[in-house]
Amino acid sequence: MVPEEKWPVLLGHEQVLIWLRMLDDLGRAPRTLDAYTRGLAEFLSACDRDGVDPLTATRADIAGYVRELRQRPSRRGGNVVALDSGAGLANATIQQRLVPVRLFYDFLVEEGLRQANPVGRGRHTPNRGRGGSERGLVPRLRTLPWIPSDDQWNAILLVTSKERIRNRLMLALGYDAALRREELCSLRTDDLDPAHRTLRVRAETTKNRRERVVPYSAPTGVLLSQYLAHRATLSRARGPLFLSESRRNPGQPLTLWTWSKVVHRIAQDAGVPGFSTHTTRHLCLTDLARMGWELHAIATFAGHRNTDSTLDYIHLSGRDLADKLSRGMKHIHAWRVEHLTAADTGLAP
């Protein structure tokens, strides 16, 4: 059920509650429902504060809400060091805040309670790129995913080597199989196939509800064997693979938040604050691209519906591009010198 107790602002907006309960009845993922609820509660609070009826809100009212998000004090401080940092929420965060608002107005339009969606999805702009482009209410900034340098990765590995076997295995699997945080924490003992060194990522744990089977390396297989022996001391029952070892709830399934805290602590101890639970996925997909994997193969491995999503994750570092340029220039240089020498001697190359 929708937690009205947690978000009392919802109680005064019947249509919002109807929509959220409908999503709950349709089986939307709990985390998705919670994110939508939180986003709408924030929007409704802004409407109540400004005296705006959300059912009749105009595009100008939505723009005012966006302005408030852009000017909201950031936890990162007031010094603007990048386009989407400093005062105000990051561009990606603003996009996330607008998603449930846009979807709610889609519902109102479908129910005949509104004629148009004030948020919208942008307008088609012909002759811009291949097949045109979409310009939304707030321009979407495309930034490259961050991946650690070799020195930063080695610092992470040094700290991780002192961690308990569970944490070392989770980082290894997160990298080997390019797993998202929820996919990793939701693994069960019967998802593993040690004989073939593969694991099944169940559809209900994935972002796009598509199941896939991915391999893991032999060294990770050794860690897995060691962890399974250790896990048997906590619980011999089949079920969630990764268990809590805290005094408060030993043997219980490890939560997403606990894993995030573990990775955050490792990152701080290693002096690499940018490292997160998603970094291993970024790094794995980038390494596959470096090894020459085809884009479609990487998309299948990552569980993406199309290669456009894969391109957002894969990028070569400046050093990689510099190396490619250097190798290419050496080849061109040798080719030109060969021709110049042949011209000087009167010989064809």
Q: Is 74 within 8 Å of 135 (Cβ atoms)?
A: no
Q: What is the pLDDT of residue 11?
A: 87
What are 84-109's pLDDT values in tens digits? 444 567 777 888 889 999 999 999 99
Quote the strand ranges of the chain, DSSP E.
123-125, 133-135, 192-193, 198-201, 212-215
Neighbours of 187 (CB within 10 A): 22
- Helix H or strand E segment including 257: helix 256-270
What's the confidence (pLDDT) of residue 163?
Answer: 94
For residues 81 and 185, membership in a common domain is answered with: no
Rounded Cα distance, 111 and 117, in Å: 12
Does position 310 have pLDDT exceeding 90, yes or no? no
| 318 within some domain | no
Task: Write the CATH number for 18.
Answer: 1.10.150.130
Domain identity same for 279 and 339: no
**CB neighbours (10 Å) of residue 265?**
13
Q: Residue 315 — very low, low, confident or very high, per pLDDT cuts 50/70/90?
A: low
169 and 88 together in one domain: no
Q: Could you tell me if 329 and 302 lie in one domain?
A: no
Alpha-carbon separation of residue 209 from 28, 177, 201, 204 (angstroms): 11, 17, 10, 6
For residues 190 and 302, membership in a common domain is answered with yes
Does 78 share its domain with 155?
A: no
In a domain, 3, yes or no: no
Q: Can you give the pTM of this predicted structure?
A: 0.68
Give the span between the Cα atoms of 69 and 46, in whole angstroms: 10
> Is residue 182 a part of any domain in this protein?
yes
pLDDT of residue 141: 61
CA 81 to chain centre: 23
Average model confidence (pLDDT) across the chain: 82
Q: State which of 103, 135, 167 marks the end of a domain.
A: 135
Q: How many residues does the chain have?
A: 349
Determine the average pLDDT of the residues in 325-346.
59
- Let me know if residue 102 belongs to a domain: yes
CB 119 within 8 A of CB 111: no
**How far is the C-alpha of 149 from the C-alpha of 276, rounded, in Å?**
14
Terminal CA-CA length for the chain: 78
* 97 and 14 within one domain: yes
Per cent of the chain over pLDDT 90 is 47
Same domain, 85 and 198: no
Examine the fold and report which residue of 135, 160, 181 is the final residue of a domain before the chain moves on. 135
In the structure, what pLDDT confidence band is assigned to residue 140 with cuts at 50, 70 and 90?
low
Residue pointed to by tokens 């050093």: 319
pLDDT in tens, 215-243: 999 999 999 999 999 999 999 889 999 99
Looking at the structure, tell me whether residues 204 and 272 fall in a common domain: yes
Based on the fold, state whether residues 178 and 255 are members of the same structural domain. yes
Residues of the domain holding 290: 150-313
What pLDDT is stored for residue 331 in this prediction? 65
118 with 251, same domain: the answer is no
Domain endpoint, select from 111, 135, 159: 135
- The confidence band for 81, taking pLDDT boundaries of 50, 70 and 90, is very low
Of 133-142, 271-280, 340-349, give the lowest mean pLDDT range: 340-349
pLDDT surpasses 60 at 197: yes
Q: Specify whether 286 is located in the same domain as 331.
A: no
In 3D space, the residue among 2, 66, 8, 5 whose CA is nearest the CA of residue 37 turns out to be 2
**Most confident segment among 76-90, 113-127, 203-217, 222-236:** 222-236
Q: What CATH number did the domain enclosing 276 receive?
A: 1.10.443.10
Q: What pLDDT digit, counting tens, does each position of 147-175 carry?
A: 898 899 999 999 999 999 999 999 999 99
Which pLDDT does position 162 carry in this prediction? Answer: 93
Query: Contact at 8 Å (CB) between 40 and 6?
Result: no
Quote the number of domains for the chain: 3
pLDDT of residue 336: 59
The vertex-288 CA angle with 83 and 181, nearest 5°, equals 65
Say yes or no to pLDDT of 260 above 80.
Answer: yes
In a domain, 140, yes or no: no
Residue 244's pLDDT is what? 93
pLDDT over 60 at 341, yes or no = no
